[in-house]
Structure 1
Amino acid sequence: MFDPKSIDHIADRIANAIPPGLSNFKDDMDKNVHALLQSALSKLDLVSREEFEVQKAVLAKTRSRLEELEKRVADLEKRILQD
C-alpha cells in the first residue's frame, strides 16, 4: 500500500500551490485532494519500498546463483567435450 505520509505530502504541496486570494478554499481543497489521492492510489497495485527492496535482494541473489550454475554447466560441458 502507498505510504500515507506521501499522500499527505502531495496533498500539502497541491494545497500550498493555491494562490493566496483563494486561501479560504485551502482547507477544503486539502481534504478533497487527500481523499482523491487516497482513492486513486488504493486502486493501484503498489508495493511498499520495503517489499520492493526485499524482492530486489531476492532477485540479485537468484541472478548470482544462476550465473554460478551457468558457469558450472559450461565447465561440465567443456570437460565432456574434451574427453
Structure 2
Amino acid sequence: MINPAKLEEIAKQITNNMPQGVKNLADTLEGKTKQVLQNKLAEMDFVSREEFDVQSQVLIRTREKLTELEAKVVLLEQQLNAKNNAE
C-alpha cells in the first residue's frame, strides 16, 4: 500500500509552499490534505509492489510454459504429418 510517511511529506510540501498569510491555517489544511489524499488513493485500485513482483514472476513462468507447450504441439504435428505421409 501507499507509504503514510510519503503522504505526510506531500502534505507538508503543499503547506510549506503556501504564502505566509495562509500558513496560519497550516495545521488544519495539512490534516485535511492528508485526509483527502488518503481517501482518493484508497478509491484507486493499486496493488503493492510485492504483489506486482509476484504476479510478474507468475507471468514469466506462464510464458515459459506456453513456449514449451507450443514447441511440443509443433513436434506432435510434425510426427502426425510424417505418419500420415508414410501411409
TM-score (norm 2): 0.77
Shift of 1:34: 0.3
| Residue 48 (structure 1) shift | 0.9
Residues matched between the structures, number? 83
- Paired residue for 1:66? 66
Matched to 1:60, the amino acid is I
Displacement, 1:58?
Answer: 0.9
- The separation in 2 between residues aligned to 1:6 and 1:64, in whole angstroms, is 37
CA distance in 1, matches of 2:16, 2:75: 63
- Report the alpha carbon displacement of residue 47 of structure 1 after superposing the two structures with TM: 1.3
5+ residue gaps in structure 1? Answer: none
RMSD: 1.8
* TM-score, structure 1 as length reference: 0.80
Distance 1:35 1:16 in 2: 17
Q: Does the aligned pair in 1 maintain the 2:11–2:30 contact within 8 Å?
A: yes
Which has the larger displacement, 10-19 or 36-45? Answer: 10-19
Q: Which runs of 4+ in 1 moved over 3 A?
A: none
Larger radius of gyration: 2
Which residue identity does 2:73 align to in structure 1?
Answer: V
Q: Structure 2: state its 5+ residue gaps.
A: none
Per-residue CA shift, 1:15-72, capped at 9, x if unaligned? 2322344322222221111010111111222211111111111111111111111111
Residue in 1 that maps onto 2:11: 11
* Shift in alpha-carbon separation, 1:76–1:16, aligned structure 2, 3 A: farther
